[in-house]
Amino acid sequence: MDKIRIVGGQALTGIIPISGAKNAALPLMIAGLLSEETLVLENVPRLADVALLQRILGNHGVDITTHGKRNGDDPHAGQTLEIDARVIVDTTAPYDLVSRMRASFWVIAPLIARMGVAKVSLPGGCAIGTRPVDFHLDALRALGAEIEIDAGYVLAKAPKGLRGGRIVFPKVSVGATHTALMAASLADGETIIENAAREPEIVDVADCLVKMGARISGAGSSTIHILGVPRLKGARHAVLPDRIETGTYAMATAMVGGDVMLSGARADLLDNALDILRQAGVEIDATNEGIRVRRNGAGILPVEVSTAPYPGFPTDLQAQLMALMTRARGRSRITETIFENRFMHVQELARFGARIHLDGDTATIEGRERLTGAPVMATDLRASVSLVIAGLAAEGETMVQRVYHLDRGFERLEEKLSRCGAVIERISA
């Protein structure tokens, strides 16, 4: 099993290219199931989750051609995927595939919308919380689907097709909003989604569906209107830049100091997180090229943050911010309101000498001047990168184990950091 070795203490200087957003690429790939024509997706990141979803879609008969893998292709440019779902050979998504990536459950929406039937395994638990699929199923029921659960599988039927309806989510859910958007695009009549997720990735998927012929308005607000159409066509769409990767490298630069241009990043996608970094004493400048992040050696100031659905502070940056605050000059507080088990990185950060006290859903961090390198173990995707951030600043050597978590969401992380001066390498077992 691969490990990542880091020798801390080096400032970061240079350019880090920001990849396409994983959290947009996955639902966009699944949206390819909605059409008999080819969907071309550009700027798709090279990630383990993307490769796994290609396998899952292939199980349904989808033919995917990948461009950007040949020798000589720019390794920092995203892949282009041509998704051909002309023939769907199987409407079952088995447990052995769905259990490996929760987002694959979303295939239920295009399968039932286009084929009238779907059998999809329940995804099961997750390291950062249970994240039940009730909201997804309630949304499909609101569109006329018949839902049964048997032996760990969701059996969904709509023999006469889906029909428009009113969907009211009791709690904001990005995944359920994706499900509702895709299903309603082919439903007969008008659908209104209330308390919809407002994340930029929702807007990106809606924009792509509109290119495919869907009639959607209001994406990015809490109320979305969809007028269903009989069929969707092919389209070409570029995945938006990854705001979580952007925030992660911004916090890494803030942690060790330096001057980094996050090439291709869009400041409008993470205004809240950038404002928090400014409060911490980091210089942030949005340019036509991307986002420039600078810290010249001045101390890191403490902050108080609560995670919240977009446009609030993203839960996917909570662990990274906590790593940064371990070196702040004073006491910081971070409250996690989205996932119940998302403080699993605390005990690993403590191995660096971090002082963190947990009280329910709130972590209090007492900043320290120095951290010390240590062997640590990743527990989930975002927690794993917080350990990398801590290791970049820690004195001595850090060895991060279980880096397969990192490969799920960060493309060429060690290469991007080493090009900016970090002493970091992957060690293959």
Handedness of CA 114, 115, 118, 123 (dihedral sign): negative
Q: Is 16 annotated as a binding residue?
A: no
Q: How far is CA 210 from the centre of its chain?
A: 22
**Is residue 62 a known part of a binding site?**
no
Residues 6+ apart with CB under 8 A from 298: 281
305 is in an annotated binding site: no
Could you count the other beta carbons within 10 Å of the beta carbon of residue 180? 30
Whether residue 262 contacts residue 18, with contact meaning beta carbons closer than 8 Å, is answered with yes
Is 22 annotated in some ligand binding site? yes
Residue 135, H or E segment: helix 134-142
Strands 117-121 and 3-7: unpaired
SS3 call for 243: helix
Residue 174 assigned as binding residue: yes
Which is catalytic among the residues 51, 126, 149, 427? 126
How many residues can be counted in the chain?
Answer: 429
| DSSP β-bridge partners for residue 193 | 167, 224
Q: Please provide the DSSP assignment of 29-98 as one string.
A: HHHGGGBSSPEEEEEE---HHHHHHHHHHHHTT-EEEEES-STTS-TTSPEEEEEE-S-----EE-HHHH
What type of residue sits at position 210?
V
Say how far residue 119 (Cα) sits from the centre of its chain. Answer: 25
CA distance linking residue 158 with residue 23, whole number of Å: 28
d(CA 424, CA 106): 36
Q: Residue 138 and residue 172: Cα distance in Å, rounded?
A: 13
Our answer to whether residue 126 is catalytic in this structure is: yes
Q: Determine contact, residues 352/390, Cβ cutoff 8 Å.
A: yes
Neighbours of 161 (CB within 10 A): 17
Residue 400 is inside which H or E element, if any?
Answer: strand 397-401
Q: Is 30 annotated as a binding residue?
A: no
Ligand-binding annotation for 90, yes or no, is no
Check whether the bond before 110 is cis (ω within 30° of 0). Answer: no
Beta pairing class for 190-194 and 215-217? unpaired
Distance CA 224, CA 177 (A): 10
As a whole number of angstroms, the distance between CA 398 and CA 107 comes to: 39
Q: Report the 10 Å Cβ neighbour count for 137.
A: 19
Residues annotated within the binding site for phosphoenolpyruvate are 22-23
Residues annotated within the binding site for UDP-N-acetyl-alpha-D-glucosamine are 102, 171-174, 316, 338
Residues annotated within the binding site are 22-23, 102, 171-174, 316, 338
Q: Which residues are catalytic?
A: 126
